[in-house]
Structure 1
């Protein structure tokens, strides 16, 4: 694989994109008055909503701390991470609900919305963990450990949700399990284990629980997909729309989380399952007419219910970059190289903005940005794009022998 000139060119483009992407967010997103990051930015970086998402405070803090981990500490990166961490600590924790985090707050940190999902806590966890890994700040590790335990307990029904929100549906009628819970927790584990070797046995045990649940319950090769939700017995329920939802980008993201875990364990069977998950998702979800990955598909080929099902969003393509490059590095199979290059070509043609930097978040099915175009939203901030660019560059360096 060494000496692949095309991959050298793509690797260099990826690094250029990373430089402009992270600079875009530092220049336009970091709030110099209240701290934290604004993520609702238009094409040129103007703020169009001052509400702040707690997910994004944690994700932004993790991103800039991770850049320090990979490339060496830079004061501006560490300052961005610290600003978001301090905003989280000062404004985003619901201390009357056992440390659960809010979902959104105002610009100055007044609470707006609490959600039942514990992803805010998960991103708070990895932000503190990564910052500890770079700085050695023991208080951050303690915060990460507390958040880690809270997420684990909530995911596994070991405690009642202290917010009192309860399940989304009436549990006596329908209850289930979501792919997002073990999948995201698996990624949290990989970060915690890297910075906190003292608890490696606990992390290894919990990681095995996650992969076992994903493979046993959600991965459904007989259906040609990985399901977003199953019932409490871990079985599909295909007679209603929610039971048939497939998010190809989610499945591809999950596939590289599992490849990472398989590499950690030396588990070739798990790695092969992860690669098959990637194949099923990308072959079912890629739009042969316009290119790019569809956002949602139906496991049985029926009409998807989500209005945005045929849009092309930024983050699934970021996940293809990581998963395809990782699988190619680990196997040498040109199938994965081809998907990497195909996706990079699509991203360069449709998502990247050479004029103002960063990537568009939302494209129509035909690949044109929604109008007016946006670089950030409540759900898009400095996370998926810089993570994919950073990780793919590093993997390509390994492939190319640099």
Structure 2
């Protein structure tokens, strides 16, 4: 690594550390609910709450984030308190006990149920939140909760049980059924966290991780198409004659790539790491907007019109995933290609997402990089998760690379 690159990385790390401080402070000041517990995530640019409905995903993600910060940097009372508040809110209000322990998707400020979804991501984020909190505190009940949720997600993802909500698949199964990339990739991330805090069950986690990577590589990763597909049929084959079968989410693929890099490093599997790198390259080269900069939200595998209205928007989280994946790939390979993408993306984030006046990052940009109006810092889907995760992970990775 050249002296110039070392200097740029030191400068980048200083900016990232500052952003991490202001980002966590933003959520602790504006998001936490001192009355009902848990976190509000529908915040405007200044941090004012514009909707009091609460995202169940974000209760789990917030609890994981602040627990993970304790894991990385040492326990701080305000971080642990925030994590515990969200965990308690989840336990007291967000579990549908009449539907086999499935979790809701949204609830009111007080915790009354609003919406149930067929997807089991609420359960997955509940799982990692309890697991990470257990890793910090050693409180066994949180590991037991994480293990129960882990098994529920595994059973649902693999069709071992009927969905107790009774919602069923998104499409009429007799006409069309398929498999989504999100199931094995998110579960692979869950496994990595569970295995770290619960090494006693590493054999089970290792077996399940291989199942996930096999599905991703053998079914969704399609080098002959130059992409990784969001969905395939039940035989693991593409269906390219309708729009949903051609959807490519470059940010999702890039997130998947660093989950796979972590798994490859754990196994010592160079071939899997090379595949993860290929997934990254295909996604960023196809998805990067050469005219305006930034990563497009959706593209079509055949270059046809995407169906989603928001396909050419620039969202915060795909750029967070580029930061993590490119820095990990550069650390592991020393290939300047990844370092170039790291700096290119960081520059875009500095210019378009970061808000030096009020802190945190804008969530939603138009294609030209200007925030949607009025600009927001949080929503049902954006809270204290992707931005702080990217900042703390890249801060640690850059420290490994710099060696100081």
Query: Per the shorter chain, which TM-score range?
Result: over 0.9
TM-score, structure 1 normalization = 1.00
Match of 1:89 in 2: 91
Equivalent residue runs for 1:1-400 within 5 Å: 1=1, 3=3, 4-400=6-402
Could you say what secondary structure the match of 2:232 adopts?
Answer: strand
Could you say what secondary structure the match of 1:353 adopts?
Answer: coil
- CA drift of 1:2 comes to 7.6
Determine if contact 1:2/1:401 at 8 Å carries over to the other structure. Answer: no
- CA offset digits 1:129-172 (Å, max 9, x no partner): 00000000100000000000000000000000000001110000
- CA offset digits 1:272-302 (Å, max 9, x no partner): 0000000000000000000000000000000
Aligned counterparts of 2:250 and 2:375: Cα–Cα separation in 1: 24
Aligned counterparts of 1:98 and 1:142: Cα–Cα separation in 2: 16
Aligned counterparts of 2:364 and 2:222: Cα–Cα separation in 1: 29
Aligned counterparts of 1:123 and 1:79: Cα–Cα separation in 2: 18
Over the aligned positions, Cα root-mean-square deviation in angstroms equals: 0.5
Aligned counterparts of 1:162 and 1:378: Cα–Cα separation in 2: 24
Aligned counterparts of 2:359 and 2:170: Cα–Cα separation in 1: 38
Could you say what secondary structure the match of 1:307 adopts?
Answer: coil
Aligned counterparts of 1:312 and 1:279: Cα–Cα separation in 2: 18
Aligned counterparts of 1:128 and 1:385: Cα–Cα separation in 2: 20
Aligned counterparts of 1:212 and 1:286: Cα–Cα separation in 2: 27
Aligned counterparts of 2:283 and 2:167: Cα–Cα separation in 1: 33
Aligned counterparts of 1:234 and 1:317: Cα–Cα separation in 2: 28
Aligned counterparts of 1:205 and 1:390: Cα–Cα separation in 2: 29
List, as ranges, runs of 4+ consecutive aligned residues in structure 1 with deviation greater than 6 Å.
none
Aligned counterparts of 2:78 and 2:381: Cα–Cα separation in 1: 24
Could you say what secondary structure the match of 1:327 adopts?
Answer: helix
Could you say what secondary structure the match of 1:141 adopts?
Answer: helix
Aligned counterparts of 2:2 and 2:82: Cα–Cα separation in 1: 36
Aligned residues: 402
- CA drift of 1:98 comes to 1.0
- CA drift of 1:115 comes to 0.3
Aligned counterparts of 2:133 and 2:233: Cα–Cα separation in 1: 37
Unaligned runs of 5+ in 1: none
Unaligned runs of 5+ in 2: none
- CA drift of 1:28 comes to 0.3
- CA offset digits 1:244-263 (Å, max 9, x no partner): 00000000000000000000
